[in-house]
Structure 1
Amino acid sequence: MTIQITPAGTPMPDALAAEDVEIIPDIDEPWLPAIMSVETGMPTAAAALGTGMLGVWVNSGRGPLEAIMIGLLAAVLVILAVIDWKILRLPDPIVLPMYPVFGLAVTGGVLTGAITGTAALTAVISMAGTVVILWLVAFFTGGLGFGDVKLGGILALVCGLQSGYAAALGALILPMVLGGVVALPLLFLGRRKHEFAFGPYMVAGALLILLLPDVIEPISRGAWMH
């Protein structure tokens, strides 16, 4: 954000008087006001903390590294869902740093034996494949934003540590299904140009896999593969 004050040399009875200070959100960070207010920020922070702790607890059997990764991602996803819902944007300053953070975590996990090489390779391939698929959808249809593409790669990377199938479910299939539940009625109502935030559906799909690791994937395999 930008703070404007009366220029130096201008008479100022009170150096930081309220009338002399104006806080203006940066043009490059229009998402900040979406979560800076008390009525939005406090519930969002509480939900993010609770979801993150649940992610760690549910996945504790996968080892501390993966549990912490999932808990951190789950908490950030709640914040991203709120921002996207309010301003239709997934900000790069939140999404992009997750690539080196989780990339280093996976690398460290492989080096220490906390993550198997097979799981890491599956996660990386899942990430790359998801980014390509979502980029093609965004480029040729315009139905997705490129913020969705960037987020999809992270979802696939972390879900892919469980399996490639879990990555497909969490980053592609479930978000598309959940988003379609909303998009199809809009089409039938003739609102083809209506914009809606796809990020929350991506978050919901990923959280179903991350917070219910032994429920959603087995059920889907039983329903579709037998």
Structure 2
Amino acid sequence: MLPATVLPLAAGLLGAALGPWLARATVRFATRTPDAAPGRLRVGVTAVLTAGLLAGAAALTGPRPLLVGVLWLTAAAVVLAGVDLASHRLPDVVTLPALVVLLASVVVDAAVEGTVQRALDGVVLGAAAFAVAAVARLLAPAGLGFGDVKLMAPLGLLLGWRDGGSLVVTGVFLGLLLGAVGSLVLLALRRAGWRSAVPFGPPLLVGAGLALALAGPV
């Protein structure tokens, strides 16, 4: 058996290698300019952040088929957060492939590891999270963007797979709490007004990550 540190280290090195490419993708999606290039600071920060997040994801997930989808979603989260902060958008071209890869890895994990019930829980709760967010979007369009609604599908799938509905609720609650706190901070600093649009993608992603970390290794 490989030492416990090998997998997180390998995932961290992968994250560092992906950093420049993810930084470039973030800038291009945010500006909608195909040839936009990130600065050195963004490249460095993205590489370090991605390395740390992928290493943590590998440590929590372990050597199983699900890891492929978790790493993909984690890398996608770096791009989604950066784009949302810059331009208040969550591109489908990033969110939807992450959902597909995560779903495929859940199916393979169920076949290899026998996690059929977890897979069913994840699929049902991912669909439920999407549906609830869609209803919230219809009732209060200013609260959530449709990109946020679509993001709830992979987040609900992963959180539901990990620990059922309670973890989905925890992740969403933490995300909304972080979003509310961030909004209050911006108001206090006079960087936003009461009617200013605030990106909710990053808080939702961080909230889901915190919930998974609190749940511990699989």
In structure 1, the residue matched to 2:160 is 160
Q: Are residues 26 and 80 of structure 1, via their aligned partners in 2, closer, same or farther at CA, if it must alter by over 3 Å?
A: closer
Any conservation in 1 of the 2:50–2:75 contact (CA below 8 Å)?
Answer: yes
Structure 1, 84-93 or 45-54: larger mean CA deviation? 45-54
In structure 1, the residue matched to 2:127 is 128
Q: For the residues of structure 1 that align with 2:36 and 2:140, how far apart are their CA atoms?
A: 28
Q: Deviations over 1:46-83 (max 9, x none)?
A: 311221122102332xx422334323322321222122
Larger Rg: 1
Any conservation in 2 of the 1:123–1:159 contact (CA below 8 Å)?
Answer: yes
In structure 1, the residue matched to 2:86 is 86
Q: For the residues of structure 1 that align with 2:125 and 2:155, how far apart are their CA atoms?
A: 9
Deviation at 1:121, TM superposition (A): 0.8
Q: For the residues of structure 2 that align with 1:76 and 1:28, how far apart are their CA atoms?
A: 14
TM, length-normalised to structure 1: 0.72
Q: Are residues 65 and 79 of structure 1, via their aligned partners in 2, closer, same or farther at CA, if it must alter by over 3 Å?
A: same
What SS is found at the alignment partner of 1:96? helix
Q: For the residues of structure 2 that align with 1:102 and 1:117, how far apart are their CA atoms?
A: 15
Q: For the residues of structure 1 that align with 2:81 and 2:102, how far apart are their CA atoms?
A: 19
Question: Mapping of 1:38-187 within 5 angstroms?
Answer: 38-60=40-62, 63-112=63-112, 114-142=113-141, 143-164=143-164, 165-170=166-171, 172-184=172-184
TM, length-normalised to structure 2: 0.74
Structure 2 unaligned segments of length 5 or more: list them: 1-26
Deviation at 1:208, TM superposition (A): 0.5
Any conservation in 2 of the 1:48–1:75 contact (CA below 8 Å)?
Answer: yes
Task: Name the one with the larger helix percent.
Answer: 2
Structure 1 unaligned segments of length 5 or more: list them: 1-24, 216-226
Q: CA RMSD in A?
A: 2.9
Q: Are residues 73 and 26 of structure 1, via their aligned partners in 2, closer, same or farther at CA, if it must alter by over 3 Å?
A: closer
Matching residue's letter, 2:148:
D
Q: For the residues of structure 1 that align with 2:111 and 2:34, how far apart are their CA atoms?
A: 37
Any conservation in 1 of the 2:175–2:207 contact (CA below 8 Å)?
Answer: yes
Deviation at 1:211, TM superposition (A): 3.0
What SS is found at the alignment partner of 2:65? helix
Q: For the residues of structure 2 that align with 1:110 and 1:187, how far apart are their CA atoms?
A: 46
Structure 1 ranges of 4+ moved more than 6 A? 25-29, 31-35, 185-190
Q: Deviations over 1:197-224 (max 9, x none)?
A: 1111011101112333239xxxxxxxxx
Q: Are residues 79 and 169 of structure 1, via their aligned partners in 2, closer, same or farther at CA, if it must alter by over 3 Å?
A: same
How many residue pairs get aligned? The number is 187
Q: Percent identity?
A: 28
Q: For the residues of structure 1 that align with 2:29 and 2:176, how far apart are their CA atoms?
A: 31
